[in-house]
Amino acid sequence: MLLDHKKIAIIGGGPGGLTLARLLQRKGVDVKVYERDLNREVRVQGATLDLHFESGLKAIKKAGLMDVFKENYRPGADKGRILDQHANIIYDEHMESSPQDFDNEHFRPEIDRGSLRNILLDSLQPDTVAWDSQFKTMSQIDGVWKLEFKNGTTATADIVIGADGGNSKIRPFVTSIKTFYSGVTIIQGNIPDSETTVPRIHQLLKGGKIYVHHDGKYLHLSSKGDGSLDFYISCKKDENWIPNSGIDFSNRLQILEWFRKEFMGWDNIWLELIENVSLPVLLRPQYCIPFDQSWEAQSNITLLGDAAHLMPPSGEGVNLAMLDTLELSEYLTDDYFKDIQTAIATYEEKMQARGTKEAQESMEMVEWMHAEDAQDKLLEMFTRG
């Protein structure tokens, strides 16, 4: 096997990095995951994810984790409601039957990010993840990578895989290609115990999702298994809007003042989100890869997920990352390839092609989701199945 007697370092302990570690360990590979979080409990994970038959679920099955996934996914959390700005229900998926069959290619089961992360962490060998290991830099000595972390520790590896997200510190070692600003900024918040805190919104959410498109803005709400809800406010803004706005987004009164102006004419029910959100909210300008990106494959380093093909949210991000891990793990352990560089080159060619395709579609979504007729377009998409 190509990876015999090789040490693999995965930088980043998100779904992509952890899935890759699981897949490689099942084939006897020596792998270590370096994660910047202090421990597995330190950070609340984001909203739910829907895994797809041909990508995310395929990787879960290959990792031997389908049974535990079925025990932890959230039936019904995939159902959504389209509401107008006045909180009137325009379309309700809860009124329709939908497949709950894991053998059905159209079934996209939802799972909380935290639950998925726990499933993957629990599947790994003890001490696979080195916590509190924020990457600082690395260099090559006789073809071996020496990694340095901000906690003062060091490590060595024969192959480094960057799974450290959109602000990847590994990407510059692979390519100098920069992402570009998509024109959209997302404000993300979490409200604990939504049933008690925001009961009207909780009832409208009904354990699933809410989509509101109006006046060039997009509001998305998602229930979580811990009883909280996540919301995303997506607006077309200048790239430097956040620092130039003068708004302190850790100050509730200032956020409320901005929200009232930005969402003038919307029902006051949506103000409850800002009145009860846990502070600080997350501010997420959205970036995207150039559609023509490519680079020369190397023999001892590569990327996956957002580190390789960052794009605005389209429902495909984690699924692309998990498909990356599946293909990369197979290519690196397949005796078909004459050497590691050829295996990486084959992986990167396919990964870049599908990443570019999804990035183009994601930027198309950015345009129509913030257009005046976005609600009509979304309704058409839902009703035609």
Annotated binding site: 43, 50, 113, 306
Which residues are annotated binding-site positions for FAD?
50, 113, 306
Q: Can you read off the two tokens belonging to residue 73?
A: 């996914």
CA 12 to chain centroid, in Å, comes to 13
Q: Can you read off the two tokens belonging to residue 341?
A: 């560089």
Please report, as a single letter, which amino acid is at residue 34: Y
Q: Pick left, alpha or beta for residue 207 (phi over 0 → left; psi -120 to 50 → alpha; otherwise beta).
A: left
Q: Name 181's bridge partners.
A: 287
As a whole number of angstroms, the distance between CA 383 and CA 375 comes to 12
Pairing assessment for the beta strands 159-162 and 154-157 based on DSSP bridges? unpaired
Q: Mutual orientation of helices 340-369 and 374-383 as an angle, nearest 10°?
A: 120
As a whole number of angstroms, the distance between CA 73 and CA 114 comes to 11
243 closest CA partner among 183, 185, 312, 178: 185
Q: Can you read off the two tokens belonging to residue 154?
A: 């060091």
Angle at the Cα of 101 from the Cα atoms of 99 and 102, rounded to 5 degrees: 130
Q: Name 330's bridge partners.
A: none
Q: Contact at 8 Å (CB) between 144 and 154?
A: no
As a whole number of angstroms, the distance between CA 105 and CA 53 comes to 5
As a whole number of angstroms, the distance between CA 176 and CA 311 comes to 17
Residue 137's φ and ψ, nearest 5 degrees, are -165, 175
Which residues are annotated binding-site positions for NADPH?
43
HSE-CB at 3 with a 13 A cutoff on CA atoms is 24
Q: Name 112's bridge partners.
A: 48
Which residues lie below 8 Å from residue 100, measured CB to CB, with a gap of 6+? Answer: 75, 107, 109
| DSSP secondary structure letter of residue 335 | T
As a whole number of angstroms, the distance between CA 281 and CA 341 comes to 42
